[in-house]
Structure 1
């Protein structure tokens, strides 16, 4: 018998009793869910706007190229979604609908079906995510339950503008994606 076979036989000979998985507590947040979400977005260097505030903000920004895939702001965009993501090189603003938001950390789930192009939330200079306030969940545990039920081939959580502190331990906003994130609750 080879050394390998001896080792495998010894492993097979070890009796192990079946153990049940530990129970996961049902984590809950205290306080107003919308306010907890707002504070999380602000803590991530994002901004929350009402629909009325967004309508006042957008003309002041004078974006040259805007793509809106949001059902709530279809007429806000001045570009249609191209087939080639390279055409989005100098996109000023993308407006997308989020599927749900997580109050504990401000993460918003975006699915392939609402992105048009997967590069869109990363290539735009500024990002606005429109979110139905009834689609807020308390924790990432609840969020992952929703993700597990999704039928999309691609999805991601976004929890603020792109930022990194890897470079000389200095915070850089917009290093790998959008420089700003604004969330409009509807």
Structure 2
């Protein structure tokens, strides 16, 4: 038996006992008087923009104008019009010029401004990360206080991929300077349908 096999066998024999995850009492975690106000405050504090709208008619017009501009714009939301389902097979190099993407979110989290998006909502998992400008749409009734609440509402293992996205891409680890759009969308606008 090789040294590698000995090590792996020893590790396999010495696994700790499985311990059940703790039960979280959702009544004892933080709560907010106004979920939308908290969501907006946090998200705008990290570089995003949040706007409450009454319905999607405004977004339909914005999408139409964006498409007519000649820029590469992708819509993944059926309520806004024709879904650009052809992007499912596009590679990163083909999506490189993606200017703006419209994506529907499932759950918005007030404590950190994050929005959960399933892979099926992205159509192509590169779309929300490779675009220059990201537009997320979420219903106000789908705002929750914390990630504990969010995980109760989503099925993380339902699809092959999903992500929480909180605002535009940002990093502050280079000389402690905040850089927006370092490795993803340069802007993120979240429309909350109230």
- Asked if the contact 1:65–1:79 (Cα under 8 Å) also holds between the matched residues in 2, the reply is no
Q: Matched residues in 1 for 2:62 and 2:135: separation? A: 11
Q: Decide which structure has the larger Cα Rg and report it.
A: 1
Correspondence for 2:24: 24
The aligned runs of 1:87-106 (5 Å cut-off) are 87-106=94-113
TM-score, normalization by structure 2:
0.75
Structure 1 residue aligned with 2:162: 155
CA gap of 1:96–1:156, structure 2 versus 1, over 3 A, is same
1:12 corresponds in structure 2 to none
Q: Provide TM-score, normalisation by structure 1.
A: 0.77
Structure 1 unmatched runs, 5+: 1-18
1:135 aligns with 2:142: yes
Moved more, 126-135 or 149-158: 149-158
In the TM superposition, residue 158 of structure 1 has moved relative to its aligned partner by 0.2
Q: Once the 2 structures are TM-superposed, how far is the Cα of residue 53 of structure 1 from its aligned partner?
A: 5.9
Kindly indicate whether residue 77 of structure 2 is the aligned counterpart of residue 70 of structure 1: yes
Count of equivalent residues: 169
CA separation in 1, counterparts of 2:156 and 2:132?
Answer: 31
Stretches (4+) displaced over 4 A: 19-23, 51-58, 60-63, 77-80
Shift of 1:68: 0.4
CA gap of 1:111–1:175, structure 2 versus 1, over 3 A, is same
Structure 1's 25 and 92: CA in aligned 2 closer, same or farther, altered over 3 A? same
Change (3 A) 1:177 1:20: closer
Q: Does 1:81 align with 2:113?
A: no
What is the root-mean-square deviation of aligned Cα atoms in Å?
2.9
1:145 deviates by: 2.2
Change (3 A) 1:42 1:73: same
